[in-house]
Structure 1
């Protein structure tokens, strides 16, 4: 019996790219006393994932990221998606929060990451009780 899903249907079922050729990213930034908007130079470029977009754009002072479709004139907040992608490569502890871009530091993705970090930490920090007492472990010179 032939496969029920054609090659075209299988291709259609794959996830859509993070950023299409007709879309740009609008970066909302708060600098000093004002809020500013900057347009990314992504028109005509397709990015498969948010991580691919981050390889080219750092978003250092960015507070919100809006994916804007130039054809439909419609925007969608993608801050959480990009924050998740940014945190995938973050290998430090929550104490290094000062190193995060503003959009990551204020995201729910950061809160989830910190909660996961705490759960992982607790599983490794449980006290282990051995069968040796202190004199057996450290010798009789301790009094």
Structure 2
């Protein structure tokens, strides 16, 4: 059981008895690397990201060393990573793999599209002027 944060009423993202296992790709296979968080407490996923970029990571598992139990926290960390992302969906090649393949990225792209009006052609382009004024440029 996680002890709730006294200020917010929520449990910290990572407690001292937990580690983050980073699942990475290597060629056609996968390997796990333990991040250097033993004994550290991080209140939020954003706190964890300040010291870990997750560049080659495809999945993140929070693992409790006492209970020997793991929980996939990829989406939580991807959401935190995207909180600071200020580029466009066309620049997704700059994202870590775990963000690029997350549901959080799909939601971010949908929000981005909803905030931008669709491209529309100017009402009075060259073609419209030729038609309107009968000019033949040819």
Segments of 5+ residues of structure 2 without an aligned counterpart are: 126-134
Moved >3 Å (runs of 4+)? 125-129
Aligned residues, how many?
A: 124
Task: Kindly indicate which of the two structures has a greater share of residues assigned to helix.
Answer: 1
Instruction: Give the match for residue 88 of structure 2.
Output: 93
Instruction: Give the match for residue 59 of structure 1.
Output: 54
Do the aligned partners of residues 120 and 14 (structure 1) sit closer, same or farther apart at CA in structure 2, a change above 3 Å counting? Answer: same
2:102 to 93, 98, 107: 107
Segments of 5+ residues of structure 1 without an aligned counterpart are: 1-8, 135-142
Matches within 5 A, 1:1-143: 11=6, 14-122=9-117
For the aligned residue pairs, the C-alpha RMSD in angstroms reads 2.4
Q: CA deviation at 1:110?
A: 0.2
The two structures have a TM-score, normalised by structure 1, of: 0.78
Do the aligned partners of residues 12 and 92 (structure 1) sit closer, same or farther apart at CA in structure 2, a change above 3 Å counting? Answer: closer
* Partners of 2:34 and 2:94 in 1: CA distance: 24
- For the residue of structure 1 that corresponds to 2:50, the secondary structure is helix
Instruction: Give the match for residue 130 of structure 2.
Output: none
